[in-house]
Amino acid sequence: MKMYHYFYYILENMKKLNLTSEQLNLLFFLRYYFETGQEVDLEVIAYNMNLDLMYVASLIEQLLEKDYIKLSRNGFIQYDTNCIYELEMQQQKQEQSQIINKFEVAFNRPITQKEVTKIAELINDYPHKLVEYALREALLYNAKNIAYVEKILINWKKSNFTVEDYEQQN
């Protein structure tokens, strides 16, 4: 992933990733060293972040524990910062698999590859919870097809209906 894509991704998902501003800054420094192939210099990072060296080391430990970075050696110590993105991709695949499973249970049959593709599109276009709620609504009308679920989502989008709106109604 290119450096600027990485920065956009991290900034857009900072809250979701539960990153402090110090962890965020440290990730950016580590990414810089990773991208340029330079050996990480914690003293320079600590100086530039205006932090104590031991505190920077503890921040690195926190990021390692979250699996957002991993230690690697290429003749010298580097931190692979792609882990945070890979972790997110794994989580998205797991969520997609769970939603597909919900469709299979609700429809009482295996989902076809074409339907899997359509569900993936819906998940990309709408919040996961809203897709699940649309499935629930479709089942209330005994409509066991993805096209009906999609129509519900389209109508909800037109009327600016949100997950919160659905949860307040029920």
Of 81, 111, 135, which closes a domain? 81
pLDDT digits (tens, 9 = 90+) for 32-61: 888 888 889 999 999 999 999 999 999 999
Mean pLDDT, to the nearest integer, of 144-165? Answer: 95
Cβ atoms within 10 A of the Cβ of 160, count? 7
Contact yes or no for 127/95 (Cβ under 8 A): no
Amino acid type, 14:
M
Residue linked to tokens 């066991």: 144
> Do 131 and 66 share a structural domain?
no
Model pTM above 0.85: no
Show the tokens assigned to 44: 């320079």
Q: Does residue 155 belong to any structural domain of this protein?
A: yes
Q: Does residue 157 belong to any structural domain of this protein?
A: yes
> Do 100 and 59 share a structural domain?
no
Number of structural domains in the chain: 2
> Do 63 and 28 share a structural domain?
yes
Give the structural domain span for 44: 3-81
Cα–Cα distance, 28 to 81 (Å, whole number): 9
Q: Does residue 18 belong to any structural domain of this protein?
A: yes
> Do 107 and 46 share a structural domain?
no
> Do 141 and 101 share a structural domain?
yes
